[in-house]
Structure 1
Amino acid sequence: MEIQGKTARLYMKKDVLMSRVSEMSEMLKSEYKDKDPVFLIILNGAFMFASDLLKGLDFDCEISFTKVASYENTESTGEIKSLIGVNEQLAGRDVVIVEDIVDTGNTMKWLLDELNRINVKSIATCVLLMKPEVFNNQFEIDFLGFEIPNDFVVGYGMDFNGYGRNLQDIYQLD
């Protein structure tokens, strides 16, 4: 398969993803069923993961969205830009950040710092994919789907210059 002129090789099939996402939903249920959390979904990449993850929750919760970007092409720019703000009142609330992928961790660290400034009650991170070999921050990922090598991946919401988000499996770009 090709995406925008780059070879895309199958990396992780939908059934593997769905199995792990279901397990993560169960963990979130156990932790948050009595807490009325706000799930803060990081757009655009986490939308498919968040949709599948949150369908498994059967308790009161709010869902909000924010957009934070630090990528151009296949490289992190290192410059973080908050593009869409959060409208919900988060002070004093339990917030769960739902993110598709963490590599260096700079974007997540920036968001954690922003949330701490507004005095949320608690913050947890729920991440589908993490690249430990390039992670360079000092925070824990509370709910993690998979650790992966430092490969550029697309599909299941993740993109290459806007393409590939619609794919149900995850692919590695060469």
Structure 2
Amino acid sequence: MPQTHPHPDVDRVLLDEQQIRERLAELGEQIAEDYADEPPILVGVLKGAVMVMADLARQIDLKVEMDWMAVSSYGSGTKSSGVVRILKDLSGDITGRNVLIVEDIIDSGLTLKWLLSNLRSRGPKSVEIAALLRKPDAARVDIDVKYIGFDIPNEFVIGYGLDFAENYRNLPYVGVLLRSIYED
């Protein structure tokens, strides 16, 4: 059911709480089936993936470990250049392990492409991606994403971990931010 009273800075709700919850349950079930014999280590990408990681992990009926990375891409404003640095690295070794990167959103794919290369260089058994959102029209590189929650239009979205200037992450839905907020 659509959110009837979104935050005043939200133009419209794109995905409500129930839609997100149902899709994460479906993804969790599929991940549990795919990794039944050898559970993955979930690697969340801070800060945006916190909500997705927490809710998705609870839907995976396996023993899964969780770890976190924080990366920063250099660029101007809201655009990524693909030049990345690690702000927080993994706590453990992933050699020989199945790794499932958990992302909130895939825009250009430049940072994720770098992250995939970095993690693959560490000798894991496999590296796959689960993303709540993907913007196909914003893609600048081709990234193979095994688990996708929703493909969305190329609009500025907030909520459910997604932010603008570190705000709005706590909204329980994904909404389109009013242009007047980020174009000022």
The answer to whether 1:92 aligns with 2:88 is no
Deviation at 1:110, TM superposition (A): 0.5
> Higher RCO, 1 or 2 (CA under 8 Å, sep at least 6)?
1
Q: Post-superposition shift, 1:74?
A: 6.1
Bigger drift between 136-145 and 160-169 goes to 136-145
Taking every aligned residue pair, what percent have the same amino acid on both sides? 33
Partner AA of 1:138 in structure 2? D
Distance 2:112 2:157 in 1: 18
Judge conservation of contact 2:80–2:110 (CA < 8 Å) in 1: no
| SS of residue in 2 equivalent to 1:89 | coil
1:109 maps to 113
Secondary structure of the residue that 2:136 maps to in structure 1? coil
Where 2:93 maps in the other structure, the secondary structure is: coil
Match of 1:146 in 2: 150
The 5-angstrom pairing of residues 19-38 of structure 1 reads: 19-38=22-41
Which residue of structure 2 lines up, in the alignment, with residue 44 of structure 1? 47
Q: Is the counterpart of residue 164 in structure 1 residue 171 in structure 2?
A: no
Structure 1 unaligned regions, length at least 5: none
Note the residue ranges of structure 2 that are not aligned, 5 or more in a row. Answer: 1-6, 180-184
Tell me the TM-score normalised to structure 1 length. Answer: 0.92
**What is the identity, as a one-letter code, of the residue corresponding to 2:25?**
S
Q: CA RMSD in A?
A: 1.7
How far did 1:66 drift? 0.6
- In the alignment, the residues of structure 1 paired with residue 79 and residue 104 of structure 2 have an alpha-carbon distance, to the nearest angstrom, of 15
Separation (CA, whole Å) in 2 of partners of 1:48 and 1:71: 24
* Residue 137 of structure 2 corresponds to residue 133 of structure 1: yes
Residue equivalent to 2:12 = 9
Change (3 A) 1:51 1:72: farther
Higher strand share goes to which structure? 1
Tell me the alpha carbon deviations over residues 34-78 of structure 1, each in whole angstroms, 9 at most, x when there is no partner: 213110011110111111111012222210011123377961231
Name the TM-score, length of structure 2 as normaliser: 0.87
Q: Is the 8 A contact 2:136 2:152 kept in 1?
A: yes
Change in 2 beyond 3 A, CA 1:80/1:41: same
Contact 2:28 2:61 in 1 (8 A): no
Structure 2 Cα separation of the partners of residues 163 and 102 of structure 1: 19
